[in-house]
Amino acid sequence: MVSIASWRRRSNGSSQLERKLSALQLDLSRLQRDLRGIAAAGGEIAGERVADAVDSAEAGARAIADRAAEQLETWTDENLNPVRAQVRSQPLASVLLSAGAGALVGALLVAARRE
C-alpha cells in the first residue's frame, strides 16, 4: 500500500517538476521572442547593406558610362573631319554607300520579322 507520506512526496515532486517545466517553457518563449528580434534586426542590417551595395554599384556604373561617353565623344570628334573630307571629295559614292547600307539593314530587319 502507498502511504500518505510517499504520496505527498510524489505529489510534491510532481508540482516541483511542473514549476520547473513552466519556468522552462517561459524561458523558451522569451528566447524565441529574443531570436525573432535578432532576426528582424539582422534583416534590417542586411537590407541596409544591400541598399548600400546597390547605391555603390549604381555610382560605379554611372562613372563608367560617363567615361565611355567622353571617350566616344573624343573619338568621334577626332574622326569626324576625315569623314567629312571623304564625303566632300566623293559625294556620289558616299550616297550610294549609305543607300546600300540602309537597304541591307532593312532587308535584315524584314527577314528577322518574318521568322
Interval 41-99: pLDDT, tens: 777 787 788 888 888 888 888 899 899 999 988 888 888 888 888 889 999 999 999 99
Look up residue 58 and give its three cell numbers: 549604381
Q: Which of 40-73 are b and which e, b meaning 16 or more Cβ less than 10 Å from the residue's Cβ?
A: eeeeeeeeeeeeeeeeeeeeeeeeeeeeeeeeee
Q: Show Cβ contacts of residue 94 under 8 Å, excluding neighbours closer than 6 positions.
A: 86, 87
Going by C-beta distance under 8 Å and a sequence separation of 6 or more, which residues neighbour residue 87?
Answer: 94
Q: What is the pLDDT of residue 7?
A: 46
The predicted-structure confidence for 7-50, as pLDDT tens digits, reads as follows: 455 556 677 778 888 888 888 888 888 888 887 777 778 778 88
pLDDT in the model for residue 4? 47
- Grid cell in block for residue 72: 566616344
Q: Which residue ranges make up each domain of the chain?
A: 4-114
Cβ–Cβ < 8 Å for 56, 48: no
